[in-house]
Amino acid sequence: MLYFEDLLKADDFPEAVNAQAKDFMKAQGLSKVHQVGLVVPDVEKAAAKLEDQGFGPFFIATGSPVFWREKGGGREISGKMGLAYHQGVELELLEPVKGSDFYTRSLDPGGKIVVQHLGFLVKDVDVCAERTTKAGLPVWVRGQLKAWPSTTDFAYLEPLEDSGLIMEFINWRIFGFSFSPPPGLLKTVGRLEKWSGKRSIAL
């Protein structure tokens, strides 16, 4: 397992993150990792701990995707995630969801924060996923999230053989136009959540 604390030990965090997917990025023509997916037992507790260390604040939300197809079969799931940026890299906190063990299998018995996946912003999730599938790296999960006026398409691939890490393709759209959530926006909403005393917004 790759632990978040191991990446933080590096002098250059973004460089350490990108190094984990160097060969994949070269093969797919990708320039950098956008997101580090971190699996934790409890998103709110993990966010509070990291915020005490100077991260965030995290924007935390709960809800269910529009659809979640795992190994080709549809499932009804619900879960919670937290988003923040660190040195230009998006951090996504994820806890086990109801309806799937996709995140559960990455939990660390000792409670450490595990790096489960690395995410890349792309123009078309399905085109990229089709290309990797033809190259021998098929899709594990294909899903979509909606929180008006934004839509997020994502595809998790099967784990890489050498590292066990999962690569993810992501496309955020607002009013139909691709975008990337500004760090300042996530921080502002996270602060508002903390100020209100309600750490999680239902989407």
Architecture of the CATH domain 4-202: Roll (3.10)
Domain boundaries of the chain, sorted by first residue: 4-202
Of the candidates 129, 189, 140, 159, the residue with the CA atom closest to the CA atom of residue 21 = 159
CA-CA distance, 161 to 169, in Å (whole number)?
A: 18
Residue-level pLDDT, tens digit, the chain, 203 residues: 999 999 999 999 999 999 999 999 999 999 999 999 999 999 999 999 999 999 999 999 999 999 999 998 999 999 999 999 999 999 999 999 999 999 999 999 999 999 999 999 999 999 999 999 999 999 999 999 998 888 999 999 999 998 999 999 999 998 888 888 888 989 999 999 999 989 998 88
Phi, psi angle pair for 28, to nearest 5°: -100, 0
Contact 106, 4 (CB under 8 A): no
pTM of the model: 0.96
Q: Are 60 and 48 in contact (CB under 8 A)?
A: no
